[in-house]
Amino acid sequence: MKRSLFALTFVGAVFASAAGCTDTKVEPLAANGVAIDDRLTIHGTVCTRAPDPDGFPVKVVFVIDKSGSMCITDPPGSQSDFQSICQTFAAGVDPASHPDNYCEPDGNAHPGRACAIYQLLEQFKDKPNVEAALVPFETKISGEYPANGGFAPVNDSNFDAWVTAVNDMQGTLGQGTDYQGAFAEAYNRVSTDILNTPKGQRPRTRYVVVFLTDGTPFPRCAADDYLPPQDYASVQQPDLIWPDSPGAGCTTPPVMNPTDPNGCYCNADQDYLDNNPVGTGAGDFTKGTDRNQNYQILDTVDRIMKLKKDYDVADINIHSLLLWNTGNISTLGLPEQQDLFGDMGNVADPVQAAHDVAEHLLREISEVHGNGTYQEFHTVAEVQLGSLDYTSLAAPFVLKSLIVDNTSALPRPTGQIVDTDGDGLPDDLDTGFVDGTSKFDMDSDGDGFNDGFEFAHQQQGFIPANDPDPRGCEATAQHQPDCACQDTDGDGLSECAEKYLKSDPNLMDSDTDGIPDGLEAKYGMDPSVAEDPLKDSDGDGVPDIDEIKAHTDPHVADPDLAAREGYRYQITPHDEDGGITCYDYSVSNIRLVTTQSSDNTQHGYNRLYIYFNEAPKSNVEGDYGEWKIACAKAQYAPPSVRHPQGPDMEVDDASFTRNDQFVYGVTADADAQDNCVETP
């Protein structure tokens, strides 16, 4: 019964704070009591950083239709094949409907989609954490910005470039509406940017795809030209395979009707796709295959959304917008309507049918698959993009984990045993008589793998001493490694050790489970795979993660040791000005041990590290966190030496150092003995 109480109170003390809880959780003392002289309590106050909105990027992709029909639904605009009709609609545009200055920089009206982008770019100028990309499409992608992929900030230095790109988008219009190619380009741009973003930044980055069009995909091509008519898609069943778009030339050579040698299932115009190649940015279209079918478009949308899970991205949203200018469309004759918006077959109202087919697909894209919203505009003046959600996921930081580790003591069922150099190998094994190692040197052979690591991995060919491992950082004539002995991220593992373990040398906690990689490696856990919070390797009733925090062994069932020796955490949060949260903490029942010294003086030093990990409140579990570390040094060499003399040692916020600047055991300050807090 006492064991269950220990497990429950420990979990409550540590993790209630991570959720922003304001209650204090206190670990009751074990019934069997503790000794006094060899026990220490570390306490103090440690605070989170102030929230920084610029540290939570938002990347926006504008995927904008510039097919020929846009000169009618969203004039002005020009297309060579429809020059007269385009100019007719352009002449009817009222500049007064575009009041924004950037919408009439030369005294002429601009399309509603251009005005909407201009207005949004003006808003983005005040948001340094927002970057954007413009992807105009028709049968191909052209005129994108930035031209070399990726995203560009919106600021005074490049605002003219943005205006030029948007202006070019409304100039020469194309003849197709290649949804599939457009979303493929959006996928390429987002996925490439994610891969170029440091892993630690991804859980704070949000991607927003804005897809604006005025009609259905064109051309649609079907690989199978001989389905029964009822098996093809229609207004009533839009998710089936659509037949070849008339005039698109989807097959080559011409497919002959087997029941009529003089007839052809394909349109006589076989030159369209030759002169208007589909799929730039998505791979060239192969005639005789499916193209722009609903399943293909939605599959690409799903691939974009899957990037969130695959790469721990904070959020991805895909919004779809349909510009259906009912007034302008109603002035067209039936042949023009069918040419611009697709032949919907034998239906009473072909324009309404085309609208319904477009709306169905766009709602599927955004509302069903894209975690976004669908909007529809019926006049040019209505078009606006500012109502969509472009907010960052910036949030105050809260405690994710706080861990104290006495590196000088190793937990065993019999109690805490001495590890003078803190390499994970106890002193009784860390000697020249056993493996040729030194208990005063963490890495006796200088190969970047500390002695405890090599001892634990002897079956993989590691030798703790006198034989630098070729997988390490010892450079010889035969060995030129691509890793270093340095600990880039301050997690207690060298770059070479992280390479071997497949953890990230730039992340303190590669798997976001709240345990530093070095501690996981020390306890025989995999730092590249997040620990299940409930995993209990030794079956003693306490999860592995909690055993590490309690400084007991997660691989040995030691309930008596846990009750007697387990560290006890008490954490109380309180809010400060500026979105900062401070935590009053106390970690008690820390047993001190008597270590040795290399010069046979000053025995008994215990080096204790306090790890503090904070994460945005909006994504505590998924974020890699921001870490800082403090070191406390106590001395215990009975019968005469005990520092501090009292039971407590205070380690406050000022004693913590950012993990990538923390140096284990020593300090960059030449005037100080090391970077540990010490009570003389």
- Quote the pLDDT of residue 370: 97
Q: What is the distance between the alpha carbons of residues 98 and 74, in angstroms, rounded to a whole number?
A: 12
Nearest CA to 510 among 419, 627, 591? Answer: 627
Show the DSSP H helices in 364-482 as ranges.
Answer: 451-456
Give the pTM. 0.83
| CA distances, 133 to each of 33, 161, 167, 235, 357 (Å) | 64, 12, 14, 34, 28
pLDDT tens-digit series, residues 253-273: 444 445 544 443 333 334 456
Looking at every residue in the chain, the average pLDDT score rounds to 82
Asked whether the bond before 616 is cis by omega within 30 degrees of 0, the reply is no
pLDDT in tens, 618-666: 999 999 999 999 999 999 998 888 989 889 999 999 999 999 988 876 4
Measured distance CA(71)–CA(429) in Å, rounded? 81
CA pair distance 21, 446, nearest whole angstrom:
45
* Percentage, residues of the chain above pLDDT 70: 79
Cα–Cα distance for residue pair 636/604, rounded to 1 Å: 5
> Could you tell me the CA-to-CA distances from 653 to 45, 48, 278, 581 in Å, in that order?
6, 9, 60, 12
pLDDT (tens digit per residue) in 211-267: 999 989 988 889 888 888 889 998 899 999 998 887 776 765 444 445 544 443 333
Q: DSSP 3-state helix, strand, coil percentages of the chain (rounded to 5)?
A: 30, 20, 50
Query: What letter represents residue 36's amino acid?
Result: I
The C-alpha atoms of residue 524 and residue 455 are separated, in whole angstroms, by 11
Within a 13 Å sphere around the CA of 608, how many CA atoms are in the beta-carbon half?
Answer: 31
State the DSSP code for 29: P
Instruction: State the residue for tokens 């069922």.
Output: 413
- Digit-coded pLDDT (tens) for 271-313: 456 556 665 544 457 777 899 999 999 999 999 999 999 999 9
Predicted pLDDT at 106:
52
Q: Which residue has the tokens 């590691």?
A: 462
* Token duo for residue 277: 């190649």
Q: What angle do CA 547, 548, 551 make, to 5 degrees?
A: 85
Q: CA nearest 560: which of 168, 30, 13, 9? A: 30
pLDDT tens across 463-516, in order? 887 778 888 886 555 556 678 888 999 999 999 999 999 999 999 999 999 999
